A = this chain, B = another copy of it.
Amino acid sequence: MSDTYVLIHGAWHTGELLEPVAQAIRAHGHVVHSPTLAGNRPGDDRSSLGLTEAVQSVVDYIEKHDLQHVRLAGHSYGGMIISKVADLMPHRIARLVYWNAFVPLNGECLNDMVPAHYKGMFDQIAAASGNAVVLPFPVWRDAFINDADAALAQSAYDNLNPQPYKTFTEAVQLNTALAEMMIGKSYLNFQQDAAMPHSMPWHPRLSERLGLFRLVEGQGSHEVCFTNPTLLADKIIEAGRD
């Protein structure tokens, strides 16, 4: 049976960077879209675009392509996006897949869920860079893509783009709390993901905000899209299927 997947990338990424994962899911007979969010596109005004515009770009994309029964997967920051998209168009969503992703309570912004030392670092960088943030390479290399060798860590880093900081500071308003939303939900957790410190982890700290959810896990870092796209594809299917 062919399912329809929409993959929502994380901060600093683009939909293009998820193409190897998308292709591996397509190899199982599914339809896969991986649009790039407003704010992460070439030429986007990174000083002003926020969560609202990024969410709207996905809503527009789904309506334009008239996608139905969508398995909507979000990575990291993408969890903010899929939460609000589902709130706006629940009838089009078959299942939500949070892949090491933020799960907001009503009224929270992404920064409300990260450790204080990250927020401090982001504040400083944004203030010096026109309200856009880039991740310092040492943090990327050791905390985000810890399972890559040095060459892949560098080449993947070179493909990232500055993140509009407003997407981290703008709160999301949810009409229905995620735990109450009548849509199937999965949390896909890669166990060596250390982008969040394990004393303040993705799972179960954020996953359990989903209420009843399906847990799927794999071995890998936050950036398994670069280090093991085939495994990631298998796990997204395990998380996204009925």
Contact = CB atoms under 8 A, between A and B. Distances in A.
Nearest to A199: B204
Interface string A31-69: 000000000000000000000000000000000000000
A147 B199 contact: no
Contact of A215 (B194, B216, B217, B238): B194
A197 B192 contact: no
Interface stretch (A76-84, A104-112, A136-144): A136-144
A92 interface: no
A139 B205 CA distance: 20
A69 to B, nearest CB: 14
A241 interface: yes
A192 B215 contact: yes
A149 interface: yes
A26 interface: no
A198 interface: yes
Contact of A143 (B146, B204, B212): B212
B184 A238 contact: no
B212 A142 contact: yes
22 contacts: A141-B214, A142-B186, A142-B212, A142-B213, A142-B214, A143-B213, A146-B214, A147-B216, A147-B238, A149-B241, A150-B241, A150-B242, A191-B191, A192-B215, A194-B215, A198-B203, A198-B204, A198-B207, A198-B208, A198-B215, A199-B204, A217-B219
Leading 10 A-B pairs by shortest Cβ distance:
A198-B204, A142-B214, A194-B215, A150-B242, A146-B214, A199-B204, A192-B217, A146-B215, A192-B215, A142-B212
